Amino acid sequence: MSSRSRVVWFLFTVAVVAGLFSPSYAVAQTERKDLVIRFSSGSYLDRVEPDKDNPLYLEIENLGNRAITNIRLLADAPEGWLVEFNPVTIDNLAPGSVVAIDVNVKPSRAATKRDNRINFIAEGDGIRRVMTIWVRVENGPSVWLWVGLAIAVAVIAGFVFIFLRIGRQ
């Protein structure tokens, strides 16, 4: 073997050995926990009726490479609103796993017709994730419907009164 071949062979061997023992191969993957809250497909809720059950479906997914335990589900909603989760807690969520959550949102009877914010919170093992949605309360008939109805009744009563007055003469 010539000296030139030995140099090329030596450089090739050094490059292969350096590639095999580079930091990317030698360092172990770090453990991480990551959690996401999202709507189940087709489950977005944008209008709610007061004092009625309004179902919603969420999913909690573990995007990390370590299990997450003791996940609690909470909601921050307007005062007087009832938000119920089923299940309320998740004991163990393995990496890559998804859990479906049934949610019932019940606005108070006195909820006003406007946009309201609801924060859905999932926390466990030092992780806290929040998803915010805005929902509009639909109160059914509004005040203007009653005003319009009152005006219509007054106009009809006026025509009946005029008809009866003129009809007698």
The pLDDT value recorded for residue 57 is 92
More confident residue, 131 or 39: 131
35-143: CATH topology: Immunoglobulin-like (2.60.40)
The pLDDT value recorded for residue 87 is 95
Tell me if 60 sits within 8 A of 90, measured CB to CB. yes
Distance CA 106, CA 85 (A): 12
Q: pLDDT tens digits, residue range 105-147?
A: 999 988 888 889 999 999 998 899 999 999 988 875 566 777 8
The pLDDT value recorded for residue 55 is 92
More confident residue, 32 or 79: 79
Q: Band of the pLDDT at 26, cuts 50, 70, 90?
A: very low
Calculate mean pLDDT across residues 59-76. Answer: 94
Instruction: Starting at the earlier edge strand, list the strands of the sheet with 47-48.
Output: 47-48, 127-137, 115-124, 68-76, 89-93
Q: What's the whole-number average pLDDT of the chain? A: 84
Model-wide pTM > 0.75: no
